[in-house]
A and B are shown apart, each in its own frame.
Chain A
């Protein structure tokens, strides 16, 4: 191996280690933290065009909305799509959001718009998660 490739190898190793450190710091101080223990939460599903308005009550130990929906995937008729920013909810009650019509599932938590996807939404005891089909 010539000197140039050795230098590049060392640099790459250094950058990868620094990145790992950066990700560790992010997960420790900035990443979403789940709440441990059992929680009673409600998931409200509204798909107006299909006359669907249902509320599901769950007791769960899971920390994030994504895991709760995944566990009850069959009952909720849910499906996800992987994106650069994590899993995106694209189907509920066996209805798939029509991207060509700009449809998507909008999530709000206790009436406030969620700023993250299901994998970043932390479950808290007593929370109501409203998931409504809407257009952008």
Chain B
């Protein structure tokens, strides 16, 4: 069994709440979000294990907020996938350009990932139609993710690293 410190439990709760609140705050803007940015930042600063737990808590809260639907199942896969990709990148390079590209591509293919999952439930034609219909939103998602991560990744990482060091003392 994985042992967790009290500090970890508190941190996961706070960071999950931050992600949920930030998603709700921007929900009036179609496909513009900071969830991708925050998962990338959390993985870089707090590590993969804690970020995966945050993703689990966040996805579960989404179900409590919006009700159960097929696309929420994808949430349990897509955010951990982003965390795994970020984790594999962070070992090699910490440049915001690399993470902005990852975030941009993640947003661009977000709809495709859902379309594949939806086609398991409703058929391939539904999946294809779902994806094509959502392409403009995927483009907006990809571009906004790229810009948000490019501009905000470094300042947020610097602040969080500072507080993380202080809390380790």
- Residues of A that sit less than 8 Å from B by CB: 8, 11-12, 15-16, 19, 22-23, 26-27, 30, 84-85, 115-116, 120
Contact = CB atoms under 8 A, between A and B. Distances in A.
Contacts of A11: 97, 150
Contact of A84 (B126, B137, B142): B137
A103 to B, nearest CB: 13
B140 A19 contact: yes
Tell me the dominant secondary structure on chain A's binding face. helix
Contacts of A8: 150-151
Given A19-B143, A30-B132, A84-B31, A12 B150 contact: yes
A85 B134 contact: yes
Nearest to A84: B30
Given A115-B126, A116-B129, A15 B147 contact: yes
- The B contact surface, by secondary structure, is helix
Determine the interface band of chain B, counting residues with CB < 8 A from chain A: 20 to 34
Contacts of A22: 139
B150 to A, nearest CB: 6
Contact of B146 (A15, A30, A120): A15
A26 B136 contact: yes
Interface in B106-142: 125-126, 129, 132-137, 139-140, 142
Contacts of A15: 104, 143, 146-147
A12 B147 contact: yes
Contact of B133 (A16, A23, A85): A85
Interface in B139-169: 139-140, 142-143, 146-147, 150-151
A26 B150 contact: no
A23 B141 CA distance: 12
B135 A26 contact: yes
A23 B136 CA distance: 6
A84 B126 CA distance: 18
Contacts of B142: 19
A96 B26 CA distance: 26
A12 B147 CA distance: 6
Given A23-B136, A26-B135, A85-B133, 15 more contacts: A12-B147, A15-B104, A15-B143, A15-B147, A19-B142, A19-B143, A22-B139, A23-B139, A26-B136, A26-B139, A30-B132, A85-B134, A85-B137, A116-B129, A120-B133
